[in-house]
Structure 1
């Protein structure tokens, strides 16, 4: 990626996001936010540095102060071209100067700040050395819902990414599976994601037979055989927003047991989807899907949370997991992806991205959730 986001957001959009972040920080009792390069910086300002660097780049957000982006002088021209640049004051520093001293006067020397999770330890320690009276909290812990509620433009981009992933599944189900390696089918998935408009492929899980019992199996050299259940889980970024979908196919006719397990996971996924509504807790979605699987005697074989948020990254808050009491709000987007994993035998996972609406949920993936037979 270059120094701008491909999403069609304006300086006003980024100004509104930064103002919202400042309000949330104040409500959380923070003096402000410090945001290093990563998804939060991209979302807030539209700026993504052209390359990872040890030089300090830091967005400083605080009440009653204009947003300031501290950047190395050699990166300043790229920062000036970012969509959110008109809403920012740029402060550049040159090699040989102390970037922490250049940042110190922007901060309350006794303030507590939220700081983005991917900030280098080098920079956090440098700030602490320059301002020993400051303290810091992980941005994900302090403001976990900062990016969780999507606006209509973001929802449209997520829907387009989901539709592109659906097109990939419709095409991959027509290819030959038997006699090919998992890695061959994974390569097909990656190529199709790019063909259907993704700029980045984040994952292409192809887990055949007993490998399907490993939810995060890395596609390898196993040759897919007739009679295999195959878990497909793939996604990435399209126009700056994520896709993520899972379907489980079968090579040739499945056994009665394989059909029962697939039908069970499909019913659990349906229950999780129907639990989505404004005001429900995130954990309610997990509970609804998990109850179906537990009641069928497979509770011990559902070994992960039911879902994760998605946006400018493919995994972010909110999480559909027991203990997460955050209420659902229209505009939140997350996966609903229960699974059953039978060690040494096979696994089944079915996943859609779901957006919370005013009265329920809307699927952003719409390929069949029935058993698909492939060659």
Structure 2
């Protein structure tokens, strides 16, 4: 999952990019390179990968055992502990003399960025994503296997949703049961739970509320978590509690065809925006174009949202190993809405869906 060779690959990519070093603090970039899921603390943890010379990781002394017992402890990597009275930013700078340009972790805290700037005033700061994005976008077979495992786990939760989704219960009550099921299915943490019922189904990122689910409601359930591997799940299905409105049933079938078409469009060399267009053309052609208000998808891996983004204007061609959501939606404000989402991986000759629960409207008893 976190091969020892990755550190050397990133160092080579850093040198090719013209940067003097990468500086990675706790977050997905650090975990991708080292396997260390470090706590995000006010005390600095920083993996420094110089274009030339030996990489090192500065860690607070009290966090040294955790770093040693993580995958980072098995790398050809010096772990440098610092004490409470040390200035860790000065320590990083002292080990990187003459560096003129550094790549900072994309999710680095502003406090850390500014203190590094003060400690290395001659070094231009850019995003580490300029080096890491290509590597992180192309998932290895082990990463795809981890995403496949995550997909199966969240599918298992969707199979249980009809047991939780009953008229008379609140969205919050249903969401609490779903969150418990996400952990029981093998995730280490719950990332998000969206239960949008009735008019709330028309809000793509609706938060759980105390709205009571009623007979005839359409309910959008969008859920995801993080597996012990660090890789994420994300899947949306739409449910009806009893008989759904007739106008909803008409556009749900359009949506299902659009999602199928976008998944079928996935193959190497196809531009990301063309996958978006495959779904959007069908929805627009049926007269619902203005009700599809977001991009078709986002990349997924160690983050729920990462590159590539499946959106108009992104001409970047898909490559084997790219993993992303395909999730068109139709939303009728004040009434109801629907979304269907699968994670798809671009393969050598097409695409593989990692979510396999039925995409038909699931009707539960009112």
TM-score (norm 2): 0.95
Match of residue 345 from structure 1: 335
Aligned to 1:271: 261
Does 2:162 correspond to 1:200?
no
Mean alpha-carbon deviation: is it higher for 321-330 or for 154-163? 321-330
Q: Where does the alignment leave 5 or more consecutive residues of structure 1 unmatched? A: 1-8
Per the alignment, residue 280 of structure 2 pairs with: 290
> Is 1:300 equivalent to 2:329 in the alignment?
no
The aligned counterpart of 1:85 is 73
The equivalent position to 2:56 in structure 1, one of 65, 68, 71, is 68
Partner of 1:328: 318
C-alpha distance in 2 between matches for 1:16 and 1:141: 20
Deviation sequence 1:290-341 (CA, Å, 0-9, x none): 1111111211111111111111222211111112222211111110000011
Residue 217 (structure 2) pairs with residue 224 (structure 1): no
In terms of mean alpha carbon deviation, does 111-120 or 213-222 score higher? 111-120
Whether the 8 Å contact between 2:218 and 2:336 is mirrored in structure 1 is: yes
Rounded to whole Å, the distance in 2 between the matches of 1:27 and 1:213 is 46
1:361 is matched with which residue? 351
The one-character-per-residue Cα deviations of 1:162-200 (angstroms, maximum 9, x if unpaired) are 111111111112344211101111111111111111111
RMSD value over aligned CA atoms?
1.6
In structure 2, C-alpha distance between the alignment counterparts of 1:142 and 1:282, rounded to whole Å? 20
Contact 1:32–1:63 (CA under 8 A) maintained in structure 2: yes
Measure how far apart 1:110 and its partner are.
4.4
Rounded Cα–Cα distance in structure 1 between residues aligned with 2:257 and 2:12: 41
SS at 2:181's partner residue?
helix
2:158 — aligned with what?
Answer: 169
Deviating beyond 3 angstroms after TM superposition, the runs of 4 or more aligned structure 1 residues are 140-143
Alignment partners' CA distance in 2, 1:97 and 1:175: 53
Find the residue that maps to 1:65 and give its secondary structure: coil
Which among 136, 139, 142 is matched to residue 147 of structure 1? Answer: 136
Contiguous gaps of at least 5 residues in structure 2 = none
1:55 aligns with 2:43: yes
Matched pairs, number? 363
Alignment of 1:94-113 (within 5 A): 94-113=83-102
CA contact (8 A) 1:109 1:131 kept: no
SS, match of residue 147 in structure 1: helix
- Per the TM alignment, residue 205 of structure 1 is displaced from its structure 2 partner at its CA by 0.4
The SS at the match of 1:217 is coil
- CA-CA distance at 1:141 after TM superposition: 5.2
